[in-house]
Amino acid sequence: MRSNFVFQEIWIGLRRNLTMTVALIVVVAISLSLLGTGLLFVKQVESTRTYWQSKVEISVYLCYDASANPSCHGAVTPAQQNQLEATLKAMPQVENVSYVSQAAAFQLFKSTFSNDQAYVSSIKESDMPPSLEIKLANPDADYNVVASAVTGAPGVDSVIDEMTILEKFYRLLDGLKNAVIIVALILGVAAILLVANTIRLSAFNRRRETGIMRLVGASNFYIQLPFLLEGVIAGLLGWVLAAALLVGVKSLLLNNLQQYFSYNVGLSVSDLVEVVVLALLVGVGLCGLTSFLTLRRYLRV
Amino acid sequence: MIEFQNVTKVYPNQARAALENVDLTVNKGEFVFLVGPSGSGKSSFLRLILREERPNDGRILVAGNDLARLTNWKVPALRRKIGCVFQDFRLLPSKTVEQNVAFALEVIGKPRRFIRRVVPEVLDLVGLEGKHDRMPDELSGGEQQRVAMARAFVNRPMILLADEPTGNIDPATSIGIMKVLDRINRTGTTVVMATHDAAIVDSMRKRVIELEYGKVVRDQNRGVYGQAY
């Protein structure tokens, strides 16, 4: 095995169809970075979803003096409130029920919007609804059952189920993620075709050399290796670009998401490494396999 | 060294056989001319020896290998025992004379030290002293064919196949080419040369095998090109 001879041949091959090689590297880079972005997205969505689901609550707003709801007849009575709390606490799906009075709700409101004093001063304590905040044991499965148990019960103004709000948000994210992955797959197909074409061109360009190699008894391995490595190296270079892009996506885009959340949703370095390694396997595997299959068609003994 | 036993070769979609019941033996160290008009089966004969083609019928033995039993991955080993020279030289235009010859050894994985020693020797043997660093397009046809012969011979094959090696070369230069082939033959290498060149065949007085429509019509020791009456 003469490794520097093989590398010399690869270099000649890559240089001879430089334009194809550049196109190939760019397409591989873009398809891999889109695939990686999609995967990072999946991880990001999962990490926020897990967090949200552990926090999700059902808010049962109770009737109060200023209620606009026609089914409310004045403020909730202590009896109605006790009845509701008892009903909810009896349900196995409910982990905890806590009462938030109008005063407490107003305090929370004031602290949430503390940077907008004009807004805060336009609201009075009596405008805030009292509520029962329900913590669920398994928010993923049970929220419908619990929400419907108290909807329309006497003294209940409205039931706000945070899960339904979140679902819309996640549907949007899922759609985005799917779109990214579909584009990545289409580009992946383009990359496969480009690899096949590049190798075919390369084999055609070097048909003299390969013809002589066959005649003087070079082994198939020796004849095919430069072409195979040509594809793999193009894949590798594409992956390097993709890895750089993915690091960029994570540090510029996803880390910026953090500022909209008050808790840590950032992806760890190991998540990024996992995606980048996966991209490496996909990229090099794809290019190598395509080269190999193309060679079997165009370089026969 | 080369043995054909009732070999028949029919190419797909062709009514007539390229070779029909060819039965002959070429011994070690022999020099054989293969003559006959175009399409008589000379090239098929050479391609069968190289196992670029496989016969439809009959058995071929080359350097002790039964080609029908030779697996694909052993074909390179067979071809390392056979050198090839063609009418169109088939040199690599981007490599120097020396690199062209070295290429044949590099691709079969010979060590660099060996290549550096052997290549100049064989270039001198074919008469290319002082032209080791020229590019093929700086050389005359005869010199290019010498490079091709050096490349074919550099791995010391047991058999040298030459397919009209003087086809593109003027008669005066051809004599020099034949001298090189003769020199190679004297090292013990079996040489099979397909040719149309009557003058060369007549002057060498070697064994002549004549093919016509895929059949051996003449096999004569110390023969001439035309039919001897």
Closest by Cβ to B92, choosing from A5, A208, A214: A208
Rounded Cα distance between B48 and B30, Å, is 19
Tell me if residue B139 falls in helix, strand or coil: coil
Alpha-helix runs per DSSP H in chain A: 3-16, 18-55, 78-90, 102-112, 117-121, 139-150, 162-205, 207-215, 220-248, 255-257, 269-298
pLDDT of residue A261 exceeding 70, the answer is no
> Measured between CA atoms, how close is A213 to chain B, in angstroms?
6
Contact B109 A209 (CB under 8 A): no
CB contacts of A208 in chain B (<8 Å) are 90, 92
Closest by Cβ to A5, choosing from B72, B76, B106: B106
pLDDT tens profile A6-46? 787 788 777 877 888 888 899 889 888 888 888 887 887 77
Give the CATH number of domain A55-161.
3.30.70.3040
> Measured between CA atoms, how close is A289 to chain B, in angstroms?
21
pLDDT tens profile B67-96? 999 998 899 999 999 999 999 999 999 899
Could you give the ipTM of this predicted complex? 0.87
Nearest CA in chain B to A12: B94
Interface membership of B70 toward A (CB under 8 Å): no
- The residue type found at A175 is G
Going from the C-alpha of A292 to that of each of A16, A45, A196, A200, the distances in angstroms are: 20, 37, 9, 11
Closest by Cβ to B92, choosing from A1, A209, A219: A209
pLDDT of residue B100 exceeding 90, the answer is yes
Residues of chain A with CATH 3.30.70.3040: 55-161
pLDDT of residue A265 exceeding 70, the answer is no
pTM over 0.80: no
The pLDDT of residue B229? 44
The pLDDT of residue A264? 62
B209: β partners: B34, B219
Nearest CA in chain B to A221: B73
- Decide if domain B1-80+196-223 falls under CATH 3.40.50.300: yes
At A158, list the tokens.
């409205």
